[in-house]
Each structure stands twice: as C-alpha cells, then as structure tokens.
Structure 1
C-alpha cells in the first residue's frame, strides 16, 4: 500500500479509498441445511479442500464504489501519471 492509486472506473479519484482485508475461513458445510459442520485451518485441510490463494487485500473506490484487486488501482495510476 505504498503506491499511488487511481480508480480504473471513474478515472479521477486518486485519494479516497476503502482498503478491504480479506480473511478466508475454510469450512465444511452440510449440503442440505448450509450449517457449518467443521472449521479448518490451512494446516489441517482435508485432501479435497483447496486452500485460499486469492489476494489478502481488495480496494474500493471511495467515489464510485468499484471493488478490485489492489494491483488494478496501482497499475492504472502507473499508466496515468500526472505530469
């Protein structure tokens, strides 16, 4: 989070953002009721459960509301630098 951001949607916001920290909780659910049967950690997943490999952060534009990976906002700012 030490890079400038620029919203790739509204193309004007460079200063107002919401940083969303994602924390995945691996669970096993009952397919009929949706009740959580078991919770796991990444160290004790069963053989058929793939660990979460997505981004730990998402960013939301404080102007238009777009939610994307942080790198989308960083890359858009890099390609549209102010002179």
Structure 2
C-alpha cells in the first residue's frame, strides 16, 4: 500500500483503516444439514462451480466502519 486513502463516507479519515484480506474456500454443502461434503481447489472445481472472482482486498474505515473495495478509498485519497 503506497497510495493515500481517504474514507468516501466520513470524508475526514485519512489514517485509520482495517485491511480485510479475502481468502475464498470452495466447498459443496449438504442441502439438508449444511455440512461440508467436499472441498475444492481452484484447479479442480467441478463444472457447475464458478471460481471466486471478487477482490482480494477490502478496506474498512477505522472511524465510521464503511467497508468497500480498495479502489474507492484510493480515488478519494487522490482528491485533496
């Protein structure tokens, strides 16, 4: 992280943030019990299972609690 952040919601916070790293886990659940029946790796997903395509990093404002994609905080940080 080498770019300044600023919260797009409270607009004052430029220094207190929580970085949330998202680690997807692909699983197949039992529809009745909710128990994990099978776990998949990214290179061995079954044909009906779409791989995770979301962001690896989300950012939470340490002041107001807003959680958004990192790019939103970066865009507001570029503005003065």
TM-score > 0.5, shorter chain as reference: yes
TM score, norm. by length of structure 2: 0.97
Unaligned runs of 5+ in 2: none
Root-mean-square deviation (CA, aligned residues, Å) is 0.6
Aligned residue number for residue 36 of structure 1? 36
Poorly superposed stretches of 4+, deviation over 2 Å: none
Unaligned runs of 5+ in 1: none
Aligned residue number for residue 61 of structure 2? 61
* Secondary structure of the corresponding residue to residue 37 of structure 1: strand
Shift of 1:2: 1.3
Which structure 2 residues correspond to residues 1-83 of structure 1 after superposition, within 5 A? 1-78=1-78, 80-81=79-80
TM score, norm. by length of structure 1: 0.93
User: Could you give the per-residue CA deviations for residues 19-64 of structure 1, whole angstroms, max 9, x where no partner exists?
Assistant: 0010000000011111110000000000000000100000000000
* Secondary structure of the corresponding residue to residue 8 of structure 2: coil
Number of residue pairs the alignment of both structures matches: 80
User: Could you give the per-residue CA deviations for residues 3-26 of structure 1, whole angstroms, max 9, x where no partner exists?
Assistant: 100000000000000000100000
* Secondary structure of the corresponding residue to residue 64 of structure 2: coil
